[in-house]
Structure 1
Amino acid sequence: MHAEWTLYEQVAVAAMDCQRLDVAKDCIGVLSRQFPGSARVGRLEALLFEAKGDWAEAERAYALILETNPFDQIVHKRKIAIAKAQGDMSLAVDYLNKYLELFMADHDAWRELAEIYVSLQMYKQAAFCYEELILAQPTIPLYHLAYAEC
């Protein structure tokens, strides 16, 4: 039976990707009835708000999840994605900095933050991010090149 619920979850995500929000809503409804109060289903509900473009509701849903579990990496990353989708790069920078305070070893987040800083022409801050990446992964030449460009 476990595979059945995983399938509902996968179909819901695929339906959102295809803008079949009605199908996604039905799948999430089934999961919500089976697993009331589940953080995983809560993330799916928030993703549905995102798919609809209802950023404020998605933010509220994610905030509720973070109240219960402030170390939910997926939710923190979704909040960053919402800020970027809305074109609010300064908010994305704030969220990324808060995320990196909790999850310092996330190299992808450091790289993303560096790229945003470069796009905002904040080269000193971007250089710091690349320094962190070089310290963590000194054998990756792209970090050295990006640091030199900053």
Structure 2
Amino acid sequence: MKTKPISDKLYGLVVLYEMHTDFLLKALAAIDEKDAKKRMDTKANHIAWITGSVVYGRYHLAKSFDIDLLSSTGELFKDNQGIIDDANYPSIEEFTKDWQKISEPLLQALLNATDKKLDEPYEMPGMKMTLFDMISFGTYREANCIGQIALWRRLLGYPGMNYM
């Protein structure tokens, strides 16, 4: 971990945040653009959608800390929208740039978040929780999505994800 967060309750989540920041890039390493949009005759979310939803999640969370950067995800993921069959999703390269652009400012916000800030209400369609609860959920979801991308790597014939 780069720096200890102000709030002790964020310590473990910040450790995971930093790991996920690197792991997503490793999960996406060498994935061909055409493969990123394959669904292999299923209704499963493809790599591009999974990646975009995780990127969108960080940008959305960042707004809670008054970080208002724009990403290439546009409206594709607004209101937790699922995959759109005929949508033109941004490239893995665009998502990677967005990920790198948001990750450091959001990390700094997490490191500087006070318990008072973390106790603020957080609302999304159909759900009410604290900001801390949303950060916890987002951390869980990032791990889940990175695991899905790692599985897609193998299903598409790529080598397993390299964690080093």
Using the size of structure 1 for normalisation, the TM-score is: 0.27
Higher relative contact order (CA 8 A, sep 6+): 2
Greater strand share, structure number: 2
Give the structure with the larger helix fraction: 1
